[in-house]
């Protein structure tokens, strides 16, 4: 069991050891100015002149150079090998939302593991910032202002039903399933897109440029998934 390292009303940027650009760092910190790192993500942060306030993971990727530059009190080693460092770090953060950078890129297996982590911890709202898109586990209820023809892709990680407004192809009355009907390449008809889903099993995938609108929607919404049990 990983204890909560940070419990805050401030949004958090969490940096991983994958592909990260200066634009990623600047955009994430603009919206979530407190920085934490998952294991070797601390090296990425330091390379951009940023010092994370906490580093969480099994520390198998953290360089000796980075370790020497960081205060020992900021290092939170979790020795278990059953979960990836993103999972370990996300479990340790209680914040309104987290922006994750460095968790997508060329490693498809790493991205899939990150998506699984989002679904395992629905009580920890986290937006994964990719090169062109952002990914979020869809909350129980969200309303986001989007321009007409904005891409709204929905990917079910398990069977899930829901309702929608202002989508070109509504999801009302459908059961989305990873080996059946999925919701990729849907689009907004313009105005406020409203989604409500019955289980924390649906990934919401949007263009990166709508990140501010998504954050506004998360901050104005009142519904949040409870932690999974069992």
Interval 74-83: pLDDT, tens: 999 998 888 9
What is the structure's pLDDT at 228? 79
| 12-63 pLDDT tens trace | 999 999 999 999 999 999 999 999 999 999 999 999 999 999 999 999 999 9
The secondary structure of 149-211, three-state, reads CCEEEEEECCCEEEEEECECCCCECCEECCCCCCEEEEEECCEEEEEEECCCCEEEEEEHHHH
Alpha carbon of 8 to those of 1, 93, 97, 141, 151: distances in Å? Answer: 20, 8, 10, 23, 32
Which of 137, 129, 141 is closest to 210 using CA atoms? 129
Average pLDDT, the chain: 94
Identify the DSSP state of 39: T
Kindly tell me if the per-residue pLDDT of 2 is higher than 70.
no
179 or 224, which is more confident?
Answer: 179
Please count the other Cβ atoms lying within 10 Å of the Cβ belonging to residue 205.
20
Domains and CATH numbers, the chain: 7-131 (3.40.50.10240), 141-220 (2.60.120.320)
Is the model more confident about 79 or about 70? 70
Reported pTM: 0.95
Q: Which stretches within the chain are classed as H helix?
A: 22-31, 41-47, 64-69, 85-91, 108-120, 211-220
Match 């990727």 to its residue by tokens: 61
Taking only the tens place, the pLDDT of each residue in 88-147 is 999 999 999 999 999 987 688 889 999 999 999 999 999 999 999 999 999 999 999 999
């Amino acid at each position: 069991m990983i204890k909560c390292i940070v419990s805050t009303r401030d949004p958090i940027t969490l940096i991983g050891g994958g592909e990260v650009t200066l634009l990623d760092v600047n955009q994430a910190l603009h919206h979530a100015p407190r920085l934490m790192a998952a294991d070797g993500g601390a090296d990425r942060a330091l390379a951009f002149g940023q010092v994370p306030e906490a580093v969480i993971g099994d520390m198998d990727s953290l360089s000796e150079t980075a370790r020497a530059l960081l205060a020992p009190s900021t290092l939170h080693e979790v020795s278990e090998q059953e979960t990836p460092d993103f999972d370990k770090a996300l479990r340790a953060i209680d914040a309104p939302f987290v922006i994750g950078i460095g968790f997508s890129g060329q490693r498809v297996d790493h991205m899939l593991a990150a998506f699984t982590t989002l679904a395992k911890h629905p009580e920890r709202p986290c937006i994964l910032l990719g090169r062109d898109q952002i990914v979020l586990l869809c909350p129980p209820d969200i309303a986001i202002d989007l321009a007409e023809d904005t891409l709204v892709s929905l990917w079910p990680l398990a069977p899930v039903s829901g309702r929608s407004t202002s989508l070109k192809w509504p999801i009302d009355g459908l059961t989305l399933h990873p080996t059946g009907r999925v919701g990729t390449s849907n689009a907004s008809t313009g105005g406020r897109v409203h989604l409500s889903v019955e289980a924390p099993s649906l990934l919401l995938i949007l263009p990166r440029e709508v990140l501010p609108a998504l954050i506004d929607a998360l901050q104005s919404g009142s519904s949040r998934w409870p932690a999974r049990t069992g």
